[in-house]
Amino acid sequence: MPLLDRDEYIEQAHFFRALGERLPQNIPLQELLAQLRDEVLSTTKLPLALDFLLGELKHRGEIGSGMKKIGHYFTAFQTYVISEGENERGRFDLRVAFEILRYEAEYRAAGATRPGTFMYQFETLCRNRLRYEAGLDAMAADPIYDDAWRSWLATVRRQIGIVDLTDLVYVRSQHYANDRIRRFGKLDTDEPILFGEKEGKIALANRRKEPLYFFAALQRQLGYPHVPRLKPVDQTPQLIPQLLRRMERLEARVKLVEEEQRGGIDLTRFYTPPGHLLDGPLPDE
């Protein structure tokens, strides 16, 4: 699968952003796809992809399987994130999945780098507690990575959990190579360098620390993209009607208490009018 043109990623970002914003409005996903089919730029391939996803949604009730079938347009990582969001047994929210893919598409449209893409995708796995094996396999299938990166991703898959991510990054950085050459006069490995000088310094400074600190430092220092988090749904529009109903019930209770103190409650107003519940004549005895 080759990399897509910039306008494709721009439209993908709009697509995922609109899904994330409109899904909490209780609009059916099938209706959303139909709306966005008309919104996105017709000169891109996204409308055709949405037509296919709409058919898959009607047939199977999900879009992850449809994205997998058109792997020439959606990456394996995009498919994996959506599939995890649609998994009813998991706790990964589909709204977060849409936001993650929106930010990734915006980053690609702005000119993504391999180190930046890796850090974004790997932080997605860490922060949302997704499966590392399946996630790294999906990352390795991303067309942005070359053979050297895919080989290193396989190494990360084998050693993650045993070796810290910061160590894995540091030994493949320009900072590590410069340090070895300065100390020993040569580099003792033929493995290609994947990360720059600054990435190596930040990795070294964050050894044996929480991985999220490492990601945050890269975002502050080098402008790497940050992974979005789930924002709580704003309950303000529903809060005022709820308060009004509670006030009405409270006023009714206060009136009953006042009537009882004045000498008793008039129960006749609660009586049902004669014949009110009868829809027809009484049955013969």
Determine the average pLDDT of the residues in 212-218: 95
- Regarding pTM above 0.75, the answer is yes
**Domain at 98, CATH number:** 1.20.81.30
Q: Is residue 275 part of a domain?
A: no
Q: Is residue 273 part of a domain?
A: no
CA 83 to chain centre: 11
Give the pLDDT of residue 251: 85
Does 213 lie in the same domain as 247? Answer: no
Q: Is residue 274 part of a domain?
A: no
Confidence band for 285, pLDDT divided at 50, 70 and 90: very low
Four-point Cα dihedral 109, 114, 115, 117, nearest 10: 50
68, 85, 112 — which closes off a domain? 112
User: What tokens were used for 114?
Assistant: 């391999």
Give the pLDDT of residue 234: 60
Given a cut of 90, is residue 25 above it in pLDDT?
no
Determine the average pLDDT of the residues in 15-29: 88
111: left (phi over 0), alpha (psi -120 to 50) or beta: left
Does 92 lie in the same domain as 63? Answer: yes
Given a cut of 50, is residue 35 above it in pLDDT?
yes
pLDDT tens profile 53-76: 999 998 888 999 999 999 999 999
Give the pLDDT of residue 265: 63
Does 43 lie in the same domain as 29? Answer: yes
Q: Is residue 197 part of a domain?
A: yes
pLDDT tens profile 107-152: 999 999 999 999 999 999 999 999 999 999 999 999 999 999 999 9
Nearest to 134 by CA among 165, 155, 164, 157: 157
Structural domain that includes position 255? 236-265
Q: What is the total count of domains within the chain?
A: 3
Q: Is residue 170 part of a domain?
A: yes
22 within 8 A of 32, measured Cβ to Cβ: yes
